[in-house]
Structure 1
């Protein structure tokens, strides 16, 4: 239970730092949010927007892909529930892993299922928000049809919708990474702690020390 509490706290603290603390403006996601605003302001000054609608469609397809993958993962979790006896026998056959009670194993599978369901809801909502973003893009007037202030306001409105959608998509991706860390609990509590630390370090590096981030501040 202590290892599980460490896992949950690490996830929540990482999310708080990246999404809500002052450091969010220095993260890769925060820097990309500014680029999304620049994108929409550029969009407001041009009349042909086929490239922009293609980009949004690609973002939607990414959300749909990972949403479908989450559904498959949920199905796999239910398959684990149905294979409890076989899995418990595997635990008994592996010499360096202590036998796991049925109730503890089912609790672990339930937790993994919950993470996958959470990820599915995030990807599904991101898909819907990208759809809203495309509608707001369609509402940005052409250069000859509206004053610059009105076009700028409409473009920034579309940008904020795009940013919110990207945050939900990122939260869904984060759920996938932490679900991989959670699998360590099936081996043991210390493995769960180690895999959680590893995932947090990987995600922190990508947000604050990656090559992708250095490109944005160059």
Structure 2
């Protein structure tokens, strides 16, 4: 009990409230987006249908070099972001080593709150960003591996004429392979979502109120892009 009270005393209550809003908004929106995509039109649902159609067409091709090339190209995005995230993590660790000097620069930011003067508080803000980008790194690297698994499924698929000769189901393969590539895309989307929320976390350097407002703004942007965008209209047309 005493330890918990000491931890709570490290930050003002409004900072704790901002942290709760941040993680609650992030996890809550992730759950909401996944649940809503099962019953409502969404970018995720629309692209998953396209992936299943793609894998169904794969079963009719005698040569699947095109499909392997597409999967390889798709995997370059998480690979790029994973490499970039490592550099960001290294930069944040370097900032932690020079907290006092960096904190002096932050205090000079326009509209920055006066409580930014605490070096401990500054370190906690940097650590929050580290947590966000470490999470993003793991999601990007896992997405890369899942694309590899998808490539293996395509490579192991029976020849086009064997589906009829052996009575194999094209739809079953398309659903399986499409789901694997879809999981890779979903995992990559988790990493991108972490990048979006990292911009909200930057708002904490100004004030906890800006932090909360930025979190709400990021959630609104993500919602409109995933459920109300023109891209979704095109995919569903």
Count of residues paired in the alignment = 218
Deviates most, 171-180 or 146-155: 146-155
Deviation at 1:150, TM superposition (A): 3.6
Aligned to 2:9: none
Counterparts of 2:127 and 2:95 in 1: how far apart (Å)?
10
Which structure 1 segments of 5+ residues have no match? none
Distance 1:94 1:157, change over 3 A: closer
Is the Cα–Cα contact under 8 Å of residues 106 and 205 in structure 2 kept in the other structure? Answer: no
Across the aligned residues of Structure 1 and Structure 2, the Cα RMSD in angstroms comes to 1.6
**2:105 is the counterpart of 1:90:** yes
Deviates most, 107-116 or 25-34: 25-34
Is the Cα–Cα contact under 8 Å of residues 56 and 173 in structure 2 kept in the other structure? Answer: no
Cα-to-partner distance string for 1:187-212 (whole Å, 9 max, x where unaligned)? 11111111111111111111011111
Deviation at 1:93, TM superposition (A): 3.8
Deviation at 1:92, TM superposition (A): 4.0
Counterparts of 2:68 and 2:39 in 1: how far apart (Å)?
28
Aligned to 1:39: 54
Is the Cα–Cα contact under 8 Å of residues 140 and 151 in structure 1 kept in the other structure? Answer: no
Decide which of 155, 160, 163 is 2:174's aligned counterpart: 155
Structure with the greater alpha carbon radius of gyration: 2
Deviates most, 57-66 or 100-109: 100-109
Aligned to 1:174: 193
**2:128 is the counterpart of 1:121:** no
**2:173 is the counterpart of 1:137:** no
Q: TM-score of the superposition, structure 2-length normalised?
A: 0.87
**2:226 is the counterpart of 1:207:** yes
Counterparts of 2:19 and 2:137 in 1: how far apart (Å)?
22
Is the Cα–Cα contact under 8 Å of residues 66 and 123 in structure 1 kept in the other structure? Answer: yes
Which structure 2 segments of 5+ residues have no match? 1-15
Runs of 4+ with deviation above 6 angstroms: none
Q: TM-score of the superposition, structure 1-length normalised?
A: 0.94
Decide which of 27, 31, 36 is 2:42's aligned counterpart: 27
